[in-house]
Amino acid sequence: MADEKDKAKAAPAAPAEEAVRALAKLLDETGLTEIEIEEAGRRVRVARAVVPAAVQIAAPAIATAPRAQAVGAERPLDPSAHPGVVLSPMVGSAYRSPEPGAKPFVDIGTAVKAGDTLLIIEAMKTMNTIPAPRAGTVTQILFEDGQPVEFGESLMIIE
C-alpha cells in the first residue's frame, strides 16, 4: 500500500518537471528573466537571476579591454558606462516612432537638443515620451522597436 502512495505522489512530478524544463528552455531562447504559467489549477513559475550573467559578460570585457582601447578608444565596451547613455526611466515597451509605420523620432546620426523626444515607452497602457537628457548626436540605438525594456536599461548613446 505504501508503494501505491509513492507512485501516486511521483506521477504528478514528471509533468511538473517537464513543464519546468520547457519553461527554462523558453527563458534561454527568449532572454526573459521570469515566466509563469497556470494550467489545470497548477501554477509553475521559473525565474533566473540576472546578476551571474552580468558577471560572465564583464569578465571577457576586462580581459580584452587593452586590445579594444587600441582599436576604438572612443567607445567603452559597456554602454551603461558611457557618459552619453540614455537609460530607461521605467519598465515597459520601447518604441522608436509615435505610431506603427511612422518615421522614427531619431536615427543614428540624428542631432538632438536637450528635451527633444527620443522614443516612447508604453507602460500600463500609457505612452511616455523620453526626452534627450543633453544635446548631441545619436551614435547608437540599443533596443529594437517594440522591445520590452527594464528600469535602468541602456537605450541610446548620445555623443
111 to 62, 108, 128: CA distances (angstroms): 32, 9, 21
**Tens-level pLDDT at each residue, the chain (159 residues):** 555 555 445 445 566 778 778 878 877 777 777 777 777 777 777 777 654 444 444 444 444 444 433 344 454 467 777 788 899 999 999 999 998 889 999 999 999 999 999 999 998 888 999 999 999 999 989 989 999 999 989 899 998
- Map grid coordinates 526611466 to a residue: 89
**What is the pLDDT, as a whole number, of residue 14?**
63
* Domains, the chain, with CATH or none: 2-47 (no CATH), 82-158 (2.40.50.100)
- Return the CA Rg of the chain: 22
* H-run or E-run covering 136: strand 136-141
Q: What predicted TM-score, i.e. pTM, was given to this entire model?
A: 0.51
**What is the pLDDT, as a whole number, of residue 73?**
44
DSSP, collapsed to helix, strand or coil, labels residue 27 as helix
**What is the pLDDT, as a whole number, of residue 3?**
52
